[in-house]
Structure 1
């Protein structure tokens, strides 16, 4: 397993994802410094005791957190992150590598590269949970996970990409590279549109309440588990990747119309064919384990 090629890590945002990076680093035996920037003094106070357990220094003062860090990891929601990039560029050490873990890449990669140059390497661990916050963060969250790096051709430093690859491998992840555009199109299909559909389906049951609460089976439970995720965060993700999500929704609408037609004419063979195809396609996917 590669050594972690950074001595001073700064994490901006210490929720589930950023917090899991901090915990994974300590679990991997990382002895370097970890600092984390939080929104305000109240947030620092709420997490201070827990963070000390993992040897993470907290501060609401961004320049203090970024000072002499050689890796800066941005772990705030997409639109918050976009608003922070100018400050990151202003306060980051000139030699620091900067990366992010947002699930949308195109807009962030373009803006961050314009401000930070070749030392910015976009990244996205394709794993997560409906749970939120540092207390939900897990030291093993990234073990076996796919991490996508999205360097821009001829605009991203190759050595920075390699160092970031080593970083994620040291945390137990598998790393691949994609363009920001290809990443956003893929994640619209595998994450963003599924979240939107689950939220919308559950919202559509509101008029049936009360009455259905005690009649839910495992199908509804499993289908709707992701609806416990943070709606504010997912609103940002969907808006940032709206073009790819809308394209995916058009395909879903087409398939729903086809399903309605098959049901209307009682085409059992046609319906079974589509259900079988769905099962076959699902079996081709390699899903991350469901968190406990």
Structure 2
């Protein structure tokens, strides 16, 4: 397993994703410093006892958290992250490598590279949970997961890119690269539209309550699990990647209209063909490991 090429890691945002990075670092034996920036003194006080066993130094002022960090990891929601970039740039060490965890990449990659220059390495671990906050963070979240790095051609420093790649591999993740645009198009299909559909489908059932609450089986449970995610976060993600999501939504609507025409006795064989196609496609995916409680 590659060594971690950073001695002082600063994490801006210590929720599920950022907190899992901190816990994963300690789980693989990392002995360097881990500092985390929280939004307020109250948030620091609330998390201090939970963070202490993981030797995470907490603060709510960016200057104290970022000082001397050689890796700065931005782990806040996309809209918040974009608003934080100028302040992070103000206090970041000139030699620090900066990366992020956001699930939308094009806007963030371009804007952050304009601000930080070649030392910014856009990234996205393709894993997560409907749970939120540091208490939900887990040391094995990234183990055997895929992390997508989306460097800008000719604008991202190769040494910084290699260090970030080593960082994720040391936490047990696989790493691949693609352009920010290709990433956003792919994630619209595999993550963003599925979340939107689950939210909207469940919202559409509201007029049928009371009456349905005791009639749900495992299918609805599994389909709707992701609706327990943070709606505000997903509204930001969907808005940020709206163009690619709209394209996927249009294709889905076309498929729905076709399937609607197949819901007749005469077209049952064609409908079954669609169902079999869906099963075949699912079998081709390499999903993140199911994490036990």
Q: TM-score range by the shorter chain?
A: over 0.9
CA–CA distance in 2 between the matches of 1:248 and 1:281?
16
- 1:122 matched to 2:122: yes
1:147 corresponds to: 147
1:45 corresponds to: 45
| Alpha-carbon distance, 1:289 to partner | 2.1
1:251 corresponds to: 251
1:214 corresponds to: 214
Cα deviations by residue, 1:155-211 (Å, 9 ceiling, x for unpaired): 000000000000000000000001000000000000000000000000000001110
RMSD, aligned α-carbons: 0.7
Cα deviations by residue, 1:220-239 (Å, 9 ceiling, x for unpaired): 00000000000000000000
Q: What is the 5 A alignment of 1:180-195? A: 180-195=180-195
Q: With the length of structure 1 as denominator, give the TM-score of the two structures.
A: 0.99
List runs of 5+ in structure 2 lacking aligned partners. none
CA–CA distance in 2 between the matches of 1:266 and 1:140?
50
CA–CA distance in 1 between the matches of 2:172 and 2:58?
25
CA–CA distance in 1 between the matches of 2:267 and 2:99?
51
| Alpha-carbon distance, 1:276 to partner | 0.4
List runs of 5+ in structure 1 lacking aligned partners. none
1:3 corresponds to: 3
| Alpha-carbon distance, 1:290 to partner | 2.8
Give SS of 1:286's match: coil
| Alpha-carbon distance, 1:268 to partner | 0.5
Cα deviations by residue, 1:250-271 (Å, 9 ceiling, x for unpaired): 0100010011111146410110
Matched-pair contact (CA < 8 Å) for 2:144–2:289: no
Give SS of 2:259's match: helix
CA–CA distance in 1 between the matches of 2:277 and 2:141?
31
CA–CA distance in 1 between the matches of 2:164 and 2:43?
29
Q: With the length of structure 2 as denominator, give the TM-score of the two structures.
A: 0.99
CA–CA distance in 1 between the matches of 2:264 and 2:245?
28
2:289 corresponds to: 289
Matched-pair contact (CA < 8 Å) for 2:13–2:36: yes
The number of residues matched between the two structures is: 292
2:15 corresponds to: 15
Q: What is the 5 A alignment of 1:60-209? A: 60-209=60-209
CA–CA distance in 1 between the matches of 2:204 and 2:28?
44
